[in-house]
Amino acid sequence: MKQKNPQSPDNTQVSWERLRDLPLDQFSGLRALVLGDFMLDEYIWGRVERISPEAPVAVVDVERETRTLGGAGNVANNLVALGAQVEVLALVGEDNPAGLLKEELRRLGIAPQGLFADPQRRTTRKTRVFANQQQVVRIDRETRIPGPPAFVEWALERLESLLPSLHVIILSDYGKGALTHSLVRETIRRGRAQGLPVVVDPKGTDYSPYTGATIITPNQKEVEQVLGSPLDSWIDPVKRLRELRELLELDYLLVTQGAKGMTLIHQDGALSIPPRTPREVFDVSGAGDTVVAVLALGLAQWGDAAVAAALANLAAGVVVTKKGTAPILRSEMEGELRGHVHLEEKIITLKELGFLLPHLRTQGKKVVFTNGCFDLLHAGHIKFLEDSRRQGDILVVALDSDKSVARVKGEGRPVIGEEQRLRILAALEVVDYATLFDSEQLPEILRNLQPDILTKGSNYPEAEVAGREIVQEYGGLVKILPVTEPVSVSALINRIRGEE
C-alpha cells in the first residue's frame, strides 16, 4: 500500500512520548530502492617493525584484511539493519572489486542484479592501510565520469519494473558518476508520480537536478556552499532556506547540523530538532547515511516528516558514538527510545551480529567466538570466558537455546532458562556480546560471521570441536584452552537433587 504524501509539520517539537510509542518493527514491511554511488571500503591491518631499505618509508607486515560497503552501500546496510527489504541500482566496473561488492550485497540479502557493469570504468574502492592501529595511508581507485547512456537506459527500465513494489526511493549521490542529471530527474519524476517519497542525499553545489524531490538532506557546510555564504551571515537564514526549498520545489529541506541537531524547513516555516542527549562523539563518518535511511523509512511508514526527522536525529546521535562507519540497529533505536539499558545492549540477535562484526573488523578488532549451554554458571565457566577474552579484543558468546540444551543434555535440562542465562552472561565484564542459537545452526553461523578465533575447553579433543574445519577453511584459528579443574554441571545438579 502506497503512503500518502507527507504532511507539513507544525512549528512545535515532536513529543518524546510520540516517538517512544512508534512500532519500529513495521519497518520490516517496507521495500526501499537505493540508487547511487556504491563503493567498496577495504582495510589492511598490519604492524611496522622496520623501515624499507628502498626508501624512508615504513614496511607494513600485513596480518589481515577486511572489507565493507561504503557510499550508497552504507545506506543499504543501514536499511537492512533496520529490517527493511532493499533493492539497488548502481554502476560498477568489470573487475574483482565489483565481485567483492556483490558478495557484500549477498551477505546483506540484497540481490546483486541491481549492479550494472561498465568495462570502461573502475569500481570505486577505498583502501585504508593501518599499522599498529594507526592509519598510514588511504588509496582511492575510481572513475569519476558520468555513467554511459546504456547504464541510464538500463537503470530506468529496472526502476520501472520495481516501482509497483516500492515504498520509498533514496538517491545517494557521492559524485562518482552513477547519478547523472537525466537519471536523477527521471527517477524523481517517476517516483513522485507513483506517490512515493523520494529522499536525496545531495552532492556538489548544483542542486537543480534534485528539483521536485520530497526532501534533500545536506549538512550545514554543504548548504552554505550552495548558498554562497555561511548561514549566520544572513539576516534571516530560515527565510533563505525556505527560498531554496521553494526554488527546488521540494516538500522539505532537512539541514543536519552535527551537535546542534537538525533544522527541517517546510512550507510554513522551520522546525528545530535538537540532539536528544549530549554524547561523546567518536566518529561522524557514515552518520549522513544513517540519517537518510531512517528518514526514508519514517516517511514511507508514517508519512510525517517531523517524526521521521526526529527519529533520524536520534539514530545519528547513536552512530556517532561508534568508531568508524557503522549502521544503526533497530534494537539500538528501540533501546534508545525506551531508555538506555546496558545489559540489553550486550544481548544481540544473530542477524544483528552479522552487521556488528564487520564494523568491529573495520576498527581492527579481533573477534573471539565461543558457544555452550552455560547452565549453572560456575568458576570454571568464568575462567574459560576470561581466557577466551584474552585471545582477542571482542568476545561473543553463543548460548544454546532451551530446546538445544534439552536435545543435547536430556530431560530436565537446562535448569536455568535461556533468558536468564543470557542476562547472567551479559552481566559478566569479559563478555562483550551474548546471543541465542541452536546447536544445529553452528556451521551456518561460523560461515556467516567468520570470527577470527573459535575457543573450546581442553576437555574437548580438538578433532571433536564442532565447526573446527569451517573456521580453519576461511583462515580463522581454533584455540583449545586449558581446563585445569573441570566441573561437571550434571554432577552438580545431581548433588542438588540428592541423587549422589
**Known catalytic residues?**
289
Q: Are strands 367-372 and 394-400 parallel, antiparallel or unpaired?
A: parallel
Distance of CA 267 to the CA centre of its chain: 33
Distance (Å, whole) CA 328 – CA 286: 10
Cα-flanking dihedrals φ and ψ of residue 69, to 5°?
Answer: -80, 140
Q: Are strands 58-71 and 38-51 parallel, antiparallel or unpaired?
A: antiparallel
Q: Can you list the positions of beta strands (E) in 334-438?
A: 367-372, 394-400, 433-437
Write the DSSP string, 264-328: EEETTEEEEE--SS-------TTHHHHHHHHHHHHHHHH-BHHHHHHHHHHHHHHHTTSSSS-PP
Contact 408, 371 (CB under 8 A): no
| Total H helices, total E strands in the chain | 18, 18
DSSP state of 401: P
Distance (Å, whole) CA 461 – CA 449: 24
Query: In the numeric block, which cell numbers belong to residue 275?
Result: 540532539
Contacts of 314 (CB under 8 A, 6+ apart): 19, 276, 333, 336, 337
Contact 176, 124 (CB under 8 A): yes
Write the DSSP string, 130-146: EETTEEEEEEEE---SP
Distance of CA 33 to the CA centre of its chain: 16
Residue 383 CB-density burial (10 A; 0-12 exposed, 13-18 middle, 19+ buried): middle
